[in-house]
Structure 1
Amino acid sequence: MRRLMLAAAMLGTVSAAHAADMPDLPVLRGGITDGLSKTAHNWDGVYFGGSAGYTTDATDFGQSVVGLTNYIFRDSVLQQPTSTWSLLQKANTQGTNFGGFVGRNWQWYDAILSLEGTYSYFGNLSSGSTGSNALVIVNPPGETRAAGITNNYAVSLTGAATAQVKDMVTLRGRVGWDGGDFMPYAFFGAAVGRMDVTRTVTSNVQLRVDVTTTDIFGNQNTTLGTYAPVPAQSGTQGQHRTNTFAVGWTAGLGLEYCIWDGLFARVEYEHVQFSPVMNTNVTLNNARVGLGYKF
């Protein structure tokens, strides 16, 4: 029995010595969880940069010349029936954009809030539309006529409009997420664009007066007149605004990637909707890539 206990004690001593010589494995120290932790990037601070990209312009000219036709036919019985005419259509164009941005990030754990200002210059971003319409308006409402008189107004309108967006500034708030070297973000804000807008309309109105008489037997006889010009409602009106400002809103999505230290690249999509200028509605969609530096 003594020999068995002595052999067990010697075996335990050898095992302890062998364990002391084993390498210090990470699993023994709980280090196996270290590889699961995320290394966060510090996005907090002031930043600036430049960008370039591609822009699509969708301009709605459907109501562009309505104000001019209303002026031509003001105080006449033709104003109401012609006010609903849509001479022009929508037009699309494309161009390049160049600009810069400056902003400030505030970071709370993985959340990033930003306030950013941008400037965009658009190269040759101009669109236009032309159109015409002609219609005979018989006895327009509101007109006072003698019995048996039928007035036929032959009205023709020809219109044209153009709109060019020169540049734009925006002030927008961003909400981002710290994904390490990546930061996806969404933004929303206000936009102010500088535009040149032109519109013209030409009207030609002629009047034919038909006379209907009734004889003693009740038979009606209509005598057709001949068309004669109506100078008061015929003519051309135009309007041009240069460097006029249009306010609007902007929203979009983007992604930034930290290249090295404070140097980062970005890609983003932006939608811009401007308020109407002379009844002309302009909508922009911008795709950009940029390069910036954060302090």
Structure 2
Amino acid sequence: MRRLVVAMMVAGAAQAAQAADLPDFSALRGPVGISRGVVNWQGFYAGGQAGYGSADMNFANSNSSMIAALLANTNIESEMNVSSWPLLGGKTNTHQSQVGGFVGYNSQWDDIVLGVEANYMHGTFSGASVSTPVSRGMTLTSDSQYHIVTVNSSKSISISDMGTIRARAGYVWGNFMPYVFGGAALGRGNIYSAVSVSDQKGADSAAAQAATPVTLSASDGISGKMLYGYTAGIGTEAMLFGNVFARAEWEYIRFVNAGADVNINTVRGGLGYKF
């Protein structure tokens, strides 16, 4: 036993002496998974931003379902297809400045960065469309009456707050990190719709023109409706000093339940801090 203890002590001393002779490379090692000379983007970050955006709103036929419900089980809907008439055609475009903030987390492997981010912007995008009265007349075979039908339609949308939850992937290039992102979008909007349909009928066209119109109307207004959709875009960040960085990006958002086709493009810049 004594010989075994002595042998172990001699082996330990030899290994310690050998290790003392090796050069110390610890100064060359950075954070785990990040090579020396590459900016460290890993960790939580937060910041503020401002931007300028453009919203395209296409209201074409956006009130069709309201007209169909208003004229359900009527001859003029079943035989004249009033709800399918081209109303509220064309696009409206609005521009707006925005302010907001962001918070997220990055994971980094050498020069590849993957992360998740919550992003918020405030600024009102508003659009509206009002159709000119559309009138049509025909003989309805089911009641042998001439009908002159006139339709009016209007719709407005106002979106004041937008937020996104997005995943992103970046590549570290010196002090810069260009990235792409995509995810889900949420918004808060006010949506108002109104339609009216007037029907004049008679035994012949002259009688129909002289008849007193029967008018049906409907309207719907929702304040603070939760909108949802998706987002995608590109950007770049630059480490300035310490853990302070600047960013510039372009973001595309489409809302799919706004009652019209809503597409928003925004360019923005911001400053952030990596903790």
**Bin of the TM-score, shorter chain as denominator length:** 0.7 to 0.9
Task: Give 3-state SS (helix, strand or coil) of 1:83's partner.
Answer: helix
Deviation string 1:217-272 (CA, Å, 9 cap, x unpaired) is xxxxxx953432353xx132111000001110000000000000210000000000
Alpha-carbon shift at residue 40 of structure 1 (Å): 1.1
Q: 1:245 aligns with which of 212, 219, 226?
A: 226
Can you list the C-alpha shifts for 1:99-147, whole angstroms capped at 9, x where unaligned? 100000000111100100011111x32111111242333234xx524xx
The alignment status of 1:294 with 2:274, answered yes or no, reads yes
Residue by residue over 1:66-120, the C-alpha shift from the partner in whole angstroms, topping out at 9 and shown as x without a partner, is: 1221122111122241121122132110101111000000001111001000111
User: Are the aligned partners of 2:60 and 2:88 in contact in 1 as well (CA < 8 Å)?
Assistant: yes
Unaligned runs of 5+ residues in structure 2 are 1-34
Measure the CA separation in 2 of the matches of 1:288 and 1:224: 61
Query: Contact 1:132–1:156 (CA<8 Å) still a contact in 2?
Result: no
Counterpart of 1:41? 39
Aligned to 1:101: 102
- Mapped contact 2:146–2:208 kept (Cα < 8 A): no
**Correspondence 1:79-158 to 2 at 5 A:** 79-80=77-78, 81-89=81-89, 90-122=91-123, 124-140=124-140, 144-145=142-143, 149=144, 151-158=145-152
Q: How big is the alpha-carbon RMSD for the aligned residues of Structure 1 and Structure 2? A: 1.8
> Match for 1:181: what amino acid?
N
1:196 matched residue in structure 2: 190
Within 2, Cα distance between the matches of 1:63 and 1:112?
A: 44
| Partner SS, residue 41 of structure 1 | coil
What are structure 1's unaligned runs of at least 5 residues? Answer: 1-36, 211-222
- Aligned pair in 2 of structure 1 residues 51, 135: CA closer, same or farther (>3 Å)? same
Q: Please, what TM-score do these two structures have when normalized by structure 2?
A: 0.81
Identity between Structure 1 and Structure 2 (%): 32
- How many residue pairs get aligned? The number is 237
AA aligned opposite 1:283: N
- TM-score calculated relative to the size of structure 1: 0.76
Q: Does 1:179 align with 2:180?
A: no
Stretch of structure 1 that moved more, 186-195 or 74-83: 74-83
- 1:78 is paired with a residue whose SS is helix
Quick one: distance in 2 between partners of 1:134 and 1:280? 20
The 8 Å contact of residues 64 and 83 in structure 2, kept in 1 or not, is answered as: yes
| Cα distance in 1 for residues equivalent to 2:136 and 2:201 | 9
Q: 1:159 is paired with a residue of what secondary structure?
A: strand
Separation (CA, whole Å) in 2 of partners of 1:58 and 1:258: 34
Q: Which amino acid aligns with 1:83?
A: S
Bigger Rg, structure 1 or 2: 1
For residues 136 and 203 of structure 1, the distance between their equivalents in structure 2, rounded to whole angstroms, comes to 11
CA distance in 2 between partners of 1:38 and 1:156 (Å): 74
1:65 aligns with 2:63: yes
Are the equivalent residues in 2 in contact too, given 1:133–1:158 (CA < 8 A)? yes
Which residue is equivalent to 2:240? Answer: 259
Separation (CA, whole Å) in 1 of partners of 2:63 and 2:230: 25
